[in-house]
Structure formats: structure tokens, C-alpha cells
């Protein structure tokens, strides 16, 4: 682990390697953003150098198009703007949390980001990174929804505004109505891979991520905990729980999965399948304590 973190530090302190993620595929895990995200999910954002966080913040300020392109009116017009990164909801939710954990004042530096989350909530309570959903189905994606919800819930250091309260409560409703992993209409599990605990997650979803959010939402918003749903979720996780610890069930970069790609030492070190994850276990213990 020490060697792996050392290699990550070499990447993060190198001034010529930092770049925005590959905007065409999002499948490249060797970039500095993913090193930062891994440390963040480990609870080790304090190890990210301040200079790295500053460069990351500046790259978003200068290199990201601050609008979700649903129609031609949202699209960049100038040649310079057309070269900018076209972001999505889950991506920005992750970036927001990383930068906030590094001590950046994201709302002052990137005021459009929080507004982006609140603006793109659909009537069902979630969000969707597929632009056509806003013109046609009006149906959300659980994967697209969680990071923005987390960004608002976990990174707001003041009293929530009425709009933020609505955003969080409607997002929680969306997850509860979908039983964390199920189709609201048919009741079937949308993606059975979501039943396998995953670390680190980056943009991806698993049922423990949903459970932890609902527990924290209930506590921070002083809302009733849906205990039946929590018990159902824990039952679905039972085969991955060993002595109140969570065993990793899959990897985000599985070559057979949606997010295949190159990896790095720290990512490999903390993501081994069938090994207990101390980081996921902390979330599990929070869920167990609440229930």
C-alpha cells in the first residue's frame, strides 16, 4: 500500500501529466483524476497535494463546458468552446466531492456546478446523463443520480436552501420508490451487478452506495428512515458480509464490464475481489447502526 500511494503521489505532483478525463470514452483510469478519486473514497483526500487540487480546479474552470447539452441552444458556439469537455451529471458529482474534500470552495470558484445539479432533476426525482431523457422518456438513471445527490448532501456546510431540500428529498424518493436497485414498474432488479459491493466506485453504483445515502439523508434531513427498505437492502448484501465486514464483489474496471480500461497500483491494491474492504465496511457499519 505504501508503494502504491507513493506511485500515486508521483502522478499527482507531476505538473505535466494532469489532464481532464478522456471525454470520448471515460474509460481511462490512469489519469490523475482517478488517483484523486481513489484517495478521496479511501477517506484520504488530505493526502492530495494542494497544488494538485488547484490545478484540477483550474482545469474544470478553463476546460469544461458549463452546460449540459440537451438542445442546440445549450451547445458551445465558438471554436474555443467546442474543444471543451462535455460533462455529465455523475462525473461532475464526483469532481465536486473530490475538490470539496481537498478544501476548495467549489461554490465560489465554480458556481454553475451546484446550479447544474438542481436544474437537471427530472420529475421522478433523479437525473439522467442521456440528454434525450429530458425531451422524451423523462426517466432517470440511478447511476446518474447518486453522485449529484451525494455532492449536495455531503458537501453543503450550511443550512440547505429550500431548493436543495427539495432536490435531496425528491432524490431520496426516487431511490426508495426503486427499492435501491429495482424497476419501479416491473419490480425486477435493473442490473444484478449492482448487488455486488464495489470499491472504489467512481461514477458507478452499487446497493451499499444507495443504502448509505438513504441513511445519511434520513439523519441529515431529519426524515423517517425507511427501515423495511434498509432491511431488504442488507438482506441482498448478506452473501458479501463476513463478521460485520464487507467483501468486494466486483471491480469498476472489469474488462467484461462497462468501465474497462487501464489501471494503476493504488486502484489495484484497494479493489481486489473477495477481499474485505475497510472503506466499504465503514459504510456498512453506519447502515447497521441506523437500523
pTM of the entire structure? 0.94
Distances (CA, A) of 121 to 23, 101, 107, 233: 23, 24, 19, 25
In 3-state terms, what secondary structure has residue 4?
helix
Under DSSP, is residue 84 helix (H, G, I), strand (E, B) or coil? coil
User: Is 234:227 a contact under the CB 8 Å cutoff?
Assistant: no
pLDDT at 23 (0 to 100)? 60
Task: Provide the pLDDT for residue 257.
Answer: 62
Confirm if 219 and 153 have CB atoms less than 8 A apart.
Answer: no
Q: Could you list the mean pLDDT of each consecutive 10-residue stretch along the chain, which spans 291 residues? A: 94 76 61 92 96 92 93 94 91 96 97 97 97 95 98 98 98 98 95 96 96 98 98 97 94 71 89 97 97 83
Amino acid at each position: 500500500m505504501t508503494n502504491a500511494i507513493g506511485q500515486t503521489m508521483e502522478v499527482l505532483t507531476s505538473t505535466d501529466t494532469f489532464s481532464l478525463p478522456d471525454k470520448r470514452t471515460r474509460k481511462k483510469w490512469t489519469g490523475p483524476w482517478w488517483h484523486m478519486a481513489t484517495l478521496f473514497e479511501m477517506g484520504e483526500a488530505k493526502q492530495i497535494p494542494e497544488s494538485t487540487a488547484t490545478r484540477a480546479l483550474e482545469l474544470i474552470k478553463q476546460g469544461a463546458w458549463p452546460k449540459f447539452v440537451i438542445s442546440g441552444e445549450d451547445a458551445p458556439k465558438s471554436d474555443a468552446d467546442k474543444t471543451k469537455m462535455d460533462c455529465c451529471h455523475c462525473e461532475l458529482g464526483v469532481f465536486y466531492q473530490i475538490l470539496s474534500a481537498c478544501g476548495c470552495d467549489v461554490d465560489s470558484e465554480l458556481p454553475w456546478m451546484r446550479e447544474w445539479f438542481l436544474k437537471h432533476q427530472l420529475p421522478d426525482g433523479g437525473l439522467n446523463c442521456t440528454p434525450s431523457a429530458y425531451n422524451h422518456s423523462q426517466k432517470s438513471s440511478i447511476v446518474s443520480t447518486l453522485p449529484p445527490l451525494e455532492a449536495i448532501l455531503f458537501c453543503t456546510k450550511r443550512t440547505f436552501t429550500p431548493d436543495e431540500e427539495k432536490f435531496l428529498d425528491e432524490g431520496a424518493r426516487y431511490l426508495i420508490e426503486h427499492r435501491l436497485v429495482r424497476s419501479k414498474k416491473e419490480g425486477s432488479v435493473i442490473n444484478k451487478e449492482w448487488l455486488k459491493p464495489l470499491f472504489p466506485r467512481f461514477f458507478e453504483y452499487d446497493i451499499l452506495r444507495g443504502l448509505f445515502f438513504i441513511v445519511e439523508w434520513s439523519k441529515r434531513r431529519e426524515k423517517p428512515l425507511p427501515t423495511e427498505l434498509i432491511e431488504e437492502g442488507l438482506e441482498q448484501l448478506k452473501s458479501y458480509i463476513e463478521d460485520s465486514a464487507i467483501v468486494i464483489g466486483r471491480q469498476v474496471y472489469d474488462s467484461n464490464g462497462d468501465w474497462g480500461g487501464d489501471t494503476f497500483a493504488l486502484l489495484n491494491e484497494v479493489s481486489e475481489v473477495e477481499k474485505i474492504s475497510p472503506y466499504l465496511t465503514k459504510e456498512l457499519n453506519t447502515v447497521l447502526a441506523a437500523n
